Amino acid sequence: MTKIKLCGLKRPQDIQAANELLPAYIGFVFAPKSRRYVHPARAEELRRMLNPGIIPVGVFVNETPETVAALLDRGIIDIAQLHGKEDAAYIRRLRQLTKKPLIQAFRIDTPADVAAAQASTADYVLLDSGAGGTGTCFDWSLLKDIQRPYFLAGGLTPENVGGAVATLHPYAVDVSSGIETDGAKDKEKMTRFVRAVRGVPGKDEEP
């Protein structure tokens, strides 16, 4: 079954909702310019509240490898997601500092972007819309030839994620803005998103 990552969590109630829904992953955003930014000390508090069966991922944008490795090795996060201009040399340096898994994000506009993701030395790749973080989808037909498992991101919502999973069969789906209302995580949308991925009818749907 396709795994789920609920990203951009920053409040205790977000963690409580995740603990009920049990996605495979949740994401803490450590990019200071993001409106979803969470301070590492706050993330550490939230991690202690998190169900131990859920893997916390840290999202970074052009952060120093030393800072990323420190958060991994302190156990605040278990996986680092690189969402900036990090290259193969950056990944090599980070691997010298930590043995924890890495996700490299790619913004998909052209077949060349897909080829770059295919060649990534990271443990996982995440494929996002070219605009990145705008809640819009990219052209999924570009993925027809990709040969490695990937996290699908970019514009996913409770309404369209079921179709995405049925069509593309990604390793995982990643959502942030699609489960928000007025800039905050919405438990009802989180629940509908998870149900859509898992094919579980909602209370108002026919079985």
Sign, Cα dihedral of 157, 158, 159, 163: positive
Q: How many Å is the maximal CA-CA distance in the chain?
A: 52
Catalytic status, residue 137: no
Q: Which of 7, 123, 174, 204 is catalytic?
A: 7
Q: Which of 14, 73, 113, 128 is catalytic?
A: 128
Count the residues in the chain. Answer: 207
Catalytic status, residue 123: no
Report residue 129 CA to chain centroid gap.
13
DSSP code string of 99-168: -S-EEEEEEESSHHHHHHHHT--SSEEEEEETT-SSS----GGGGTT--S-EEE-SS--TTTHHHHHHHH
- The helix (H) or strand (E) run that includes residue 177 is none
| Active-site residue list | 7, 128
